[in-house]
């Protein structure tokens, strides 16, 4: 089971304690502070890190180089980034950013087609161009955030999930899908071509307390036990900081057949303790 450093602490996200979240955001107020923490976590032994495509996160993967044996798990999109661009600098700044980040082929062939057909599939390549750093190492995982994955599931546009996976693969990356309902998503993935499934990783909540585990801890446990062609990564494994016992949380996770776990902390001693406990 590989261990991946999560990024909630970098951006002040704490589902149990908003005040604590704000304090950790201050601790990681610069790109340099985040990079230093990632490097120290990798030195402890973690197998890679996860980062989302907000304004700082977009710069992280190309600001330093990981050892070739380590992995980057990068999640898109981050809509607030574009809203901030417009609010702070206006629409012309946003358009300049789009032209700078998008490939020429996407702008010429995909964007006009979308305007005429209104088919969301035709704009996916442009979105991926905008969200993925140009020099993100090939074979990195690129995830679709759960807010989009689950919205698409709710709209019954599962074809968009397959198109996202294919668009990511065409660019030389491995696709990932983050969801709050892995069993519902699994029904859709089973219809994907086998070669897509084998490249795919699915990220979902699982923890001993059942915090934010949907539809229930018991159902997700059965899902985890089932053999799939794709990989599984458990998040929220420490109940987003709300677990009464870290030891119980880790022992529970170790009983599950997961390919990856992702967890974070603003304290390197906690990272090291969790890493050693999960490895033992």
Mean pLDDT of 39-54: 96
Count of structural domains within the chain: 1
Predicted local distance difference test score (pLDDT) of residue 79: 57
Predicted local distance difference test score (pLDDT) of residue 14: 61
Q: Is residue 114 part of a domain?
A: no
Q: State the pLDDT confidence band at 244, using cuts at 50, 70 and 90.
A: confident
Q: Is residue 218 predicted with pLDDT exceeding 90?
A: yes
Distance CA 228, CA 271 (A): 29
Q: Is residue 128 part of a domain?
A: no
Q: Is residue 180 predicted with pLDDT exceeding 50?
A: yes
The neighbouring-strand residues paired with 250 are none
Q: Is residue 44 predicted with pLDDT exceeding 50?
A: yes
Q: State the pLDDT confidence band at 130, using cuts at 50, 70 and 90.
A: confident
Predicted local distance difference test score (pLDDT) of residue 196: 98
Q: State the pLDDT confidence band at 114, using cuts at 50, 70 and 90.
A: very low
Residue showing tokens 């450093």: 5
Top pLDDT among 101 and 176 is at 176
Q: Is residue 41 part of a domain?
A: yes
Predicted local distance difference test score (pLDDT) of residue 128: 79
The CATH number linked to 162 is 3.20.20.20
Q: Is residue 257 part of a domain?
A: yes
Predicted local distance difference test score (pLDDT) of residue 277: 97
Predicted local distance difference test score (pLDDT) of residue 7: 94
Mean pLDDT of 128-157: 91
Q: Is residue 232 part of a domain?
A: yes
Q: Is the peptide bond before 133 cis (omega within 30 degrees of 0)?
A: no
Q: Is residue 50 predicted with pLDDT exceeding 50?
A: yes
Predicted local distance difference test score (pLDDT) of residue 12: 77
Q: Is residue 15 predicted with pLDDT exceeding 70?
A: no
Q: Is residue 103 part of a domain?
A: no
Q: Which range among 27-31, 160-164, 172-176, 202-206 shows the weakest confidence by mean pLDDT?
A: 27-31
Q: Is residue 204 predicted with pLDDT exceeding 60?
A: yes
Predicted local distance difference test score (pLDDT) of residue 245: 87
Q: What is the mean pLDDT of the chain?
A: 85
Predicted local distance difference test score (pLDDT) of residue 112: 47
Residue showing tokens 């206006």: 90
Top pLDDT among 170 and 95 is at 170
CB-CB contact of 271 with 41 (8 Å): yes
**Can you give the residue range of the structural domain that contains 191?**
2-78+139-279
Predicted local distance difference test score (pLDDT) of residue 113: 46
Q: Is residue 170 predicted with pLDDT exceeding 70?
A: yes
Predicted local distance difference test score (pLDDT) of residue 239: 87
């Amino acid at each position: 089971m590989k261990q991946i450093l999560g990024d909630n602490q970098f951006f002040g996200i704490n589902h149990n304690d908003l005040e604590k979240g704000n304090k950790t955001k201050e601790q990681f107020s610069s790109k340099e502070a985040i990079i230093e923490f990632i490097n120290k976590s990798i030195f402890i032994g973690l197998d890679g890190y996860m980062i989302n495509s907000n304004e700082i996160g977009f710069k992280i993967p190309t600001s330093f180089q990981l050892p070739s044996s380590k992995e980057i798990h990068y999640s898109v999109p981050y809509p607030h980034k574009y809203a901030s661009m417009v609010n702070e600098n206006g629409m012309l700044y946003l358009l300049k950013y789009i032209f700078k980040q998008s490939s020429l082929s996407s702008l010429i062939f995909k964007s006009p087609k979308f305007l005429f057909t209104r088919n969301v599939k035709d704009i996916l390549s442009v979105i991926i161009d905008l969200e993925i750093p140009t020099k993100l190492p090939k074979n990195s995982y690129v995830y679709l955030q759960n807010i989009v994955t689950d919205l698409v599931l709710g709209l019954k546009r599962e074809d968009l999930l397959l198109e996202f996976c294919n668009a990511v693969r065409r660019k030389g990356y491995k696709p990932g899908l983050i969801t709050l309902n892995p069993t519902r998503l699994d029904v859709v993935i089973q219809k994907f071509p086998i070669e897509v499934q084998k490249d795919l990783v699915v990220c979902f909540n699982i923890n001993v307390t059942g915090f934010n585990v949907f539809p229930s801890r018991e159902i997700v446990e059965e899902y985890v036990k089932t053999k799939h062609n794709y990989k599984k990564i458990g998040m929220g494994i420490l109940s987003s900081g709300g677990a009464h016992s870290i030891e119980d949380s880790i022992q529970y996770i170790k009983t599950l057949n997961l390919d990856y776990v992702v967890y974070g902390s603003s304290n390197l001693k906690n990272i090291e303790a969790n890493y050693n406990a999960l490895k033992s």
